[in-house]
Amino acid sequence: MARAGQSVLNGIRVIELGGVAAVPFCGLMLSWLGAEVIKFEPAGGDDDARRLAPFVRVGDGGVESAMFAYLNSGKKMVSFDETTDAGRTALADLVASATVVVHDGSLEFCGQSLGPTVGDTYPGLVACAITPYGWDGPHAGVPACDLTTNAVGGDCYLNPAGLAHHENPEGEPLKMAGFSASYTGGLAACLAIMASLFRQGLTGLGDFIDVSEQDVQVSMSREQIMWAVNENVLETRDTRALPVGGCFECKDGYVQVYVFSDEHWAALRVIMGDPVWARDERYAAALDRAKHNDEVNAGIESWLRLKERDELYTAAKKHGVTLAPYLGPADVIADPQEVDRGFPAPFVVGDLTLGITPGFPFAMSETTPVRPTGGWRRGQDTAAVLSGVGVGPADIEALVAGEVSE
């Protein structure tokens, strides 16, 4: 089994140049895999996520962005004025010391040195740009945010389907939870970076990777999109719902029920107590249930309304029914399954446990993920990191002169 200290990316240095969600999430995944991630915040302003909700208490009555803390704890925080000659040189030195750079293209330095021609300056470097629309094309550089990434991804138009849409048919199309669409762009970029590291291991060569957050979203919605464009069937929020099953309200919350096969239906009938209505011959076959789905769903709903979420889940597990409760984050960290797997992880900074975060989403038998610890104060590691790449103490002092100390 796993041996302490053995991580996948032990000894790999990553420079992170970009804020808010996609680039930091990519950096988080790389740091979980054991990379040394150095987050650079430019003179022009720190990462916007430092001000974004939700928030977490950090002791002494202080309150900070839980989003920033979650994404960035465990990284080395470096900041200096990169717009001066000395700053440009220091940033170039930092990049030269790295194996991977992940950026959002926003700094002038990224455009000049970390784009498609990166190999001219840094032949072994893996440079990955994560941008809303990709590195080139007519929309490159168009103003964007997490919501527009959702909008141009193909799924937002169909979201929500099922009960939420039924309750509010005139409601606006919805984005995914929090910044998760942007995080997904960072996840896809992390996969691409790892693949590039594999190639680098064989050939010694670096690469420039162009990840468009729009492409990532469209790629994930490829089934519904290709269905529409090849077979001219336009699905809408009205027609997307599962024919039978879906999200239902129960006595104290919501449950998801999945009924497609005859086995699913038979098992559901058992935990419903095989009511008379469910024995109707017209519901015996999947196609017929779909034809009469309003009746079947109404029958399921009237039964669920009287039941509690946890009691339903217990019965479902016992009888093999594909039914699960809608859990909130507080439920997830208390769920016996996740507790047993050790997935909820204490979030420790120094001597303080600030809360619980999700752990690493996969378990590897021979390598251990690296749990983030450490604070995220702007510039806290600037001097140590810069001296590590050979910048002298006087030069460091000059570089950080404009930095506001907290």
Partner 1 sequence: MAGPLDGVRVADFTWAGVGGYCGLLWAMLGADVIKIETKVRGGTQRLSNPARRVGVKSNLAEELSRDKRSILLNLKSPVGVDIARRIAGKSHIAAENFRPGVMARLGLGYQDLRRANERIVMVSMSANGQSGPDATLPGYAGIFGALSGISSLIGYPGGAPVELRLPSDMVAGTMGALAGVAALVRQQRTGQGQYVDCANRESLSVLIGEYFLSLGSAFGESGRQGNDVPGRAPYGCYRCADDEAMAGRPAAERERWVAVGVVDDSQWVGLRAALDLPDDADLRDSAGRWARRRELGTEIARIVRPRTVEQVVETLRAHGVPCAPVMRPPDLLADPHLAERQAWDVLERADGVPWISFGAPFRFQHAGRPTPRAASPLGSDSRQVMADLLEIDDEEFDKLVADGAIA
Instruction: Provide the H-helix boundaries in 143-253.
Output: 146-151, 163-167, 180-203, 213-220, 222-231
Q: Does 336 bind partner 1 (CB under 8 A)?
A: yes
Nearest approach in angstroms of CB 27 to partner 1 is 13
Q: How many CB atoms lie within 10 A of CB 108?
A: 12
Q: Does 375 bind partner 1 (CB under 8 A)?
A: no
Of residues 168 through 227, those in contact with partner 1 by CB under 8 A are: 168, 171-180, 183-184, 187-192, 194-199, 201-202, 205-212, 214-227
Segment contacting partner 1 by CB under 8 A, of 85-93, 229-237, 385-393, 395-403: 229-237
Nearer to partner 1, 108 or 263 (CB): 263
Nearer to partner 1, 244 or 385 (CB): 244
Determine the size of the site formed for partner 1 (CB under 8 A): 162
- Residue from 22, 37, 156, 312 touching partner 1 (CB under 8 A): that is 156
- Cα of first residue to Cα of last residue in the chain, in angstroms, is 43
Nearest approach in angstroms of CB 23 to partner 1 is 14
Nearest approach in angstroms of CB 393 to partner 1 is 36
CA distances, 270 to each of 274, 280, 300, 316, 321 (Å): 5, 14, 12, 10, 9
Nearer to partner 1, 305 or 392 (CB): 305
Residue-wise DSSP of 110-163: HHHHSSTTHHHH-TT-EEEEEESS-SSSTTTT----HHHHHHTTSSGGG-S-TH
- Residue from 83, 84, 124, 355 touching partner 1 (CB under 8 A): that is 355
Q: Does 110 bind partner 1 (CB under 8 A)?
A: no
Nearest approach in angstroms of CB 306 to partner 1 is 18
Q: How many CB atoms lie within 10 A of CB 49?
A: 19
Residues facing 38 on adjacent strands: 15, 76
Encoding tokens for residue 265? 């239906």
What 3-state DSSP class applies to 101?
strand
Backbone phi, psi, residue 243, to 5°: -60, -50
Q: Does 324 bind partner 1 (CB under 8 A)?
A: yes
For strands 76-79 and 36-41, give the pairing: parallel
- Residue from 43, 46, 48, 89 touching partner 1 (CB under 8 A): that is 48
Encoding tokens for residue 134? 């990709």
Q: Does 290 bind partner 1 (CB under 8 A)?
A: yes
- Residue from 251, 279, 305, 341 touching partner 1 (CB under 8 A): that is 341
Nearer to partner 1, 80 or 183 (CB): 183
Segment contacting partner 1 by CB under 8 A, of 93-101, 103-111, 300-308, 333-341: 333-341
**What Rg, from alpha-carbon coordinates, does the chain have?**
25
